[in-house]
């Protein structure tokens, strides 16, 4: 039998007190505890791991010290925080997120509140499952993630039990030094997003601006590290899941902010590692984030390598995630497609919406190793299946007309010849993320 969900309601209005009954009618066993006085709230938050959801009046949270009390126990909370504003209030979900809240709902809108509560109670369950998977049920966690310290220490304890030899310890020491440096950079707020433009060639409708979100990390001197300089270390340390989930959440937050500012047409692409798909909890987290975010339909495209479709466990996760994405008309992209992958695309046309050609295809085309009819045949087949086709690494302007004639929908990467080898990604915008992947906005220390 499922545990009764414990909901803490801070300074509720009368309609919110019906929430327990409404959730019970939907098959969710819930118990509502009201806290209207400071001593009640302090007593309730003395047991942060008890709660599955915290509802709070927005004014009380922002102006009467509740935010500080919640922040003080944030590391031990699995519960989401949902703020209740007065009808017509100016607090947006994006603004609430930056103050540590997971959503903002109007007082009295019980249908919306009930839906949000169902979603956030699922999120709390996911957080607890991921925390348990990290090996320390009592470990601090923010959002849906165990901290890097949790995962790293778990891995080190396992190695110690295995009785690693002296040489192995020496090698591990060098690796741990690299890990410590990367972790310190991320802890200092160095992890950020860069947005690379994807330029539309053709469209039957009004074109929508498209960008891919790319992970970047600044080192001690402020130099921006490219993925190849830090992601392999992140992967070896076992942190890739949480960095990808952080990246995913940041992209959705950016889309929410753009929507709030009136930019509803933008589409953001975000790459997710295959290993995330092997975890049901991580897939559930991705799907919950994507469907719960206040984004425009079709504004998110999630990218995966071909290997995700070739591994049974990952493919099962892909199918589950694809269903969730389609409820919001979001897309799913497969990378590194070559001319021999036509049958592969047809086999998975129920999942795929976008295709990225292998970047070597443009070079092969330019140097005569690939005939244009072969590329055109691949693209025609992809278009028959309804895919949007994107070409990478267009290093010569003469290739543009060739790719257009072959049926490519958009290009990404180099748009003309670039003389500097280090100039890999032309970027139009960089967004700094002042909080690390494993901390919530507003968290101190």
Q: What are phi and psi of 96, to 5 degrees?
A: -65, -40
pLDDT attached to residue 315: 94
State mean pLDDT over 212-235.
83
State mean pLDDT over 368-396.
87
Residue 427 pLDDT more than 70? no
State mean pLDDT over 365-382.
87
Do 295 and 259 touch, CB atoms closer than 8 A?
Answer: yes
Q: Which structural domains are found in the chain, ordered by start?
A: 5-133 (3.40.50.2300), 181-432 (3.20.20.450)
Residue 362 pLDDT more than 70? yes
pLDDT band with cut points at 50, 70 and 90 for residue 205:
low
pLDDT attached to residue 196: 86
- Predicted TM-score of the model (pTM): 0.59
Do 441 and 99 touch, CB atoms closer than 8 A?
Answer: yes
pLDDT attached to residue 335: 94
Closest CA relative to residue 188, chosen from 145, 134, 225? 225
Tens of pLDDT, residues 229-246? 888 888 888 888 888 888
Between CA 397 and CA 416 the distance in angstroms is 5
Residue 172 pLDDT more than 50? no
Tens of pLDDT, residues 272-314? 989 889 988 889 889 988 988 888 899 999 999 998 999 999 9
Do 393 and 424 touch, CB atoms closer than 8 A?
Answer: no
Between CA 370 and CA 303 the distance in angstroms is 25
Tens of pLDDT, residues 52-84? 999 999 999 998 889 989 988 887 888 889 999
Per the document, the length of the chain is 445
3-class SS letters over the chain:
CCCCEEEEEECCCHHHHHHHHHHHHCCCCEEEEEECCHHHHHHHHCCHHHCCEEEEEHHHHHHCCHHHHHHHCHHHCCCEEEEEECCCCCCCHHHHHHCCCCEEEECCCHHHHHHHHHHHHHHHHHHHHHHHHCCCCCCCEECCEECHHHHHHHHHHHHHHCCCCHHHHHHHHHHHHHHHHHHHHHHCCCEEEEEEEEEECCCCCCCCCEEEEEEEEECCCCCEECHHHHHHHHHHCCCHHHHHHHHHHHHHHHHHHHHHCCCCCCEEEEECCHHHHHCHHHHHHHHHHHHHCCCCCCCEEEEECCHHHHCHHHHHHHHHHHHHHHCCCCEEEEEEECHHHHHHHHHCCCCCCEEEECHHHHHHHHCCCCCHHHHHHHHHHHHHCCCEEEEECCCCCHHHHHHHHHCCCEEECCCCCCCCCCCCCCCCEEEECCCCCCCCCCCCC
**Alpha-carbon Rg of the chain, whole angstroms?**
24
Residue 1 pLDDT more than 80? no
pLDDT attached to residue 361: 85
Give the sheet arrangement for strand 30-35, strand by strand: 30-35, 5-10, 53-57, 80-85, 103-106
pLDDT attached to residue 188: 73
């Amino acid at each position: 039998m499922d545990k009764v969900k414990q909901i803490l309601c801070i300074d509720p209005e009368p309609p919110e007190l019906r929430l327990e009954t409404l959730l019970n009618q939907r098959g969710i066993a819930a118990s509502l505890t009201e806290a209207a006085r400071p001593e009640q709230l302090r007593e309730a938050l003395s047991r942060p791991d008890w709660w599955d959801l915290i509802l709070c009046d927005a004014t009380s949270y922002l102006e009467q010290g509740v935010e500080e009390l919640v922040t003080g126990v944030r590391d031990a909370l699995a519960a989401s925080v949902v703020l209740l504003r007065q009808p017509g209030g100016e607090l947006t979900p994006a603004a609430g997120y930056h103050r540590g809240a997971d959503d903002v709902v109007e007082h009295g809108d019980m249908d919306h509140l009930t839906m949000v509560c169902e979603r956030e109670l699922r999120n709390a369950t996911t957080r607890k499952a991921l925390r348990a998977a990290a090996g320390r049920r009592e470990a601090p966690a923010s959002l849906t993630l165990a901290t890097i310290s949790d995962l790293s220490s778990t891995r080190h304890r396992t190695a110690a039990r295995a009785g690693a030899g002296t040489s192995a310890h020496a090698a591990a020491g060098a690796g741990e030094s690299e890990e410590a440096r990367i972790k310190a950079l991320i802890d200092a707020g160095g992890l950020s997003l860069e947005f690379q433009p994807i330029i539309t060639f053709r469209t039957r409708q009004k074109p929508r601006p498209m960008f891919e979100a790319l992970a970047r990390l600044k080192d001690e001197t402020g130099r921006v590290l490219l993925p190849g300089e830090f992601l392999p270390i992140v992967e070896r340390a076992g942190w890739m899941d949480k960095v990808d989930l952080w990246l995913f959440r940041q992209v959705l937050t950016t889309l929410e902010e753009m929507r709030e500012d009136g930019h509803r047409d933008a589409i953001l692409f975000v790459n997710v590692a295959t290993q995330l798909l092997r975890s049901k909890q991580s897939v559930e987290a991705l799907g919950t984030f994507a469907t719960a975010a206040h984004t425009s339909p079709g504004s998110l495209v999630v990218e995966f390598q071909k290997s995700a479709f070739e591994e049974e466990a990952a493919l099962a996760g892909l199918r589950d995630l694809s269903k969730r994405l389609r409820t919001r008309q979001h897309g799913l992209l497969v990378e590194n497609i070559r001319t021999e992958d036509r049958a592969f695309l047809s086999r998975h046309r129920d999942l795929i919406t976008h295709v990225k050609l292998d970047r070597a295809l443009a070079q092969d085309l330019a140097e005569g190793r690939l005939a244009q009819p072969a590329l055109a045949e691949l693209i025609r087949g992809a278009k028959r299946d309804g895919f949007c086709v994107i070409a990478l690494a267009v290093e010569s302007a003469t290739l543009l007309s060739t790719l257009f004639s072959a049926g490519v929908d958009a290009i990404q990467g180099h748009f003309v010849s670039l003389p500097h080898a280090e100039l890999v990604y032309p970027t139009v915008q960089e967004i700094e993320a002042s909080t690390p992947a494993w901390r919530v906005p507003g968290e101190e220390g």
